[in-house]
Every structure is written in structure tokens, then in C-alpha cells.
Structure 1
Amino acid sequence: MSITKYTEDHEWLTVDGDIATVGITVHAQDALGDVVFVDLPEVGKTFAQKDVAGVVESVKAAADVYMPVSGEIVEVNENLRADPSLANSDPLGSGWFFKVKLTDASQIDALLDETAYNAFAGQ
């Protein structure tokens, strides 16, 4: 069974076993506007929680994508690299950024559930 959590940096992650799929939230893509470029992390690279793992650029701004949990990048979304607008059209689905193998699953407990995130984001 998978669970979805959110960060105060406007990333979401869906955890299934020890793999988490990470992307930006609807709120984040709304604030950014039309996404024109994404810089995705390298497969095999390890990050600590809150490290900058990538960058998303829009017509309005550029924003860092932070690691919601510590772990190793096991896959990146090449479709997103080819078509950055997926971050706008389907941010919670085909617009995912990368998949990470968790090194400390307890970090998930401190993240926000959907209700808490929506309250935080003012939705």
C-alpha cells in the first residue's frame, strides 16, 4: 500500500515499500506558472533530506526541488525532461520528477498529510 506525504517546500512523495516517487505539488506549479525546464538529479547520486536535488524553471521564476527524504536516486522522469509542461498538466501523475530509495523511512513520519499540507498552503 502506498502513502502520499507533502513538504513545506511544496514537494509531494508517494512511498511504496522503500521507494518514493517525488514531484512538485499543484500549489507549486500554480505559483511557478508555465514550466519550461527541469534539471533532474543523476541516477545513483545520494542526497540527504532537504538537499537541493534539482531545479524547475518557469517563465516567471526558477525554484529548487528539495529532497523530502534521504536516499539514493534510482530513476528520473525522462519524459519530464523532454516535456517540462507535464509538471503543469499532471503534477501529481506523469509530471513526477524522480524516484528515491529511502535510507531512513522514519523521516516520512514528520512530513505533512494532505489535510495538513492544504492548510499550510492555504488551499
Structure 2
Amino acid sequence: MRKVTELIGRTPLLSLCQDRSGSRLLLKLEQFNPLGTAKTRMALEMVRDAERRGALRPGGHIIESTSGNTGLGLALVAAERGYRFTAVVDGHACPDKLRAMRAMGAELVYVTGDGDG
């Protein structure tokens, strides 16, 4: 593998238990995605869909309101594919996630809850 996004979705299944009829309870361990969240898979699919539809072209700009995990995923995908990424965040966003987004090249735009609603 040459790209981090090639690891997205290759998460293991854990067979937690099986009943007498043979039915099994399987857990998809999404925390093994890059960045530790299922939102990374969603972010990749959002970008792929936008590319297929022609809504996102080479050198494009992704803008998303996020408080953490979706932004992390989009920052990763954008960095790898050469897109600009702007995360619109508020005071509830986790500082560690914001630092990680910024480290991957994201621009952060802060908003407050003081609007008219």
C-alpha cells in the first residue's frame, strides 16, 4: 500500500459469540481505521462521490462544518488527494482534533453561537 486511504475500510470483523442455532454476533472494528474512527470511511466516500459527480475537481476546495472526526477524515483525504480543506468549527470541538486537522493542512474557521438562530 502506498496511501493511507488504502487502509480505510479494511477493518477486521470480530465474532463475539454464537448461539445454538449458529447465528453469530459480529462486530466491525471501525476503530482500526486510520485516525481511529468510522467517520474516516464516510469522509472518503463523500469525496469519492463528489469526484464521480464532477462536483470536486483536481485542486478543489472542501468546506465542512465539523466538531472532530469527520473533519479529521476529510483533512486526511484532502491532503492525500491535493484538495484544500476548510473546517468550520465551534467552541465544542476537541482541541486535539483541531490540532491534528491543522497538522494535515486544514484551515480552521471558528464560529460562535451568538447568531440570531
Q: Which has the higher strand share?
A: 1
**Structure 1 length as normaliser, TM-score?**
0.22
Q: Which has the higher helix share?
A: 2
> Higher relative contact order by CA 8 Å / sep ≥ 6: 1 or 2?
1
Higher Cα radius of gyration: 2
